Amino acid sequence: MSELDTKPRLKPRLKTERPRLHKVILLNDDFTPRDFVVRVLRSVFRTSPDQAYRIMMTAHQKGVCVVAVYTREIAEEKATEATELGREAGYPLTFTTEPEE
């Protein structure tokens, strides 16, 4: 029996990676009323009234604003839900997602 045979064998550890996170981004437009954007942010993203107002104003002033960060599936679901609420009301309200860096 060689020396290699007497050492205990170690099992390789599998590293599990955390799911990559994605940002939900609100795009500004010149047609959707501000109060409607605030209502959508509150209902879909469960923000407080103050948070929703700040997000809406940031998008209004800068053109875009990160609303929240989720796993890819949840980010896409929420972006789609919020965008569809705008479309149903006749507004071009748009939310999109992108991977977080």
Residue 14 burial (CB count, 10 A): 5
Q: For residue range 9-22, what is the model confidence (pLDDT) as tens digits?
A: 666 777 777 778 99
Taking residues 57-66, what's their average pLDDT? Answer: 98
Question: Do the domain assignments include residue 49?
Answer: yes
Write out the residue range of the structural domain in which residue 45 sits: 20-99
Question: Do the domain assignments include residue 1?
Answer: no
Question: Do the domain assignments include residue 6?
Answer: no
Question: Do the domain assignments include residue 13?
Answer: no
Q: Are strands 21-27 and 94-99 parallel, antiparallel or unpaired?
A: antiparallel
Q: Cα separation of 11 and 8, whole Å?
A: 10
Taking residues 63-86, what's their average pLDDT? Answer: 98
How many structural domains comprise the chain?
A: 1
∠ CA 70-71-72, nearest 5°, is 110
Mean pLDDT, the chain, rounded, equals 91
Question: Do the domain assignments include residue 3?
Answer: no
Q: For residue range 23-52, what is the model confidence (pLDDT) as tens digits?
A: 999 999 999 999 999 999 999 999 999 999
**Which CATH number is 68's domain given?**
3.30.1390.10
Beta bridge partners of 22: 70, 99
Q: Looking at the whole model, is its pTM more than 0.75?
A: yes
Residue 83 burial (CB count, 10 A): 20
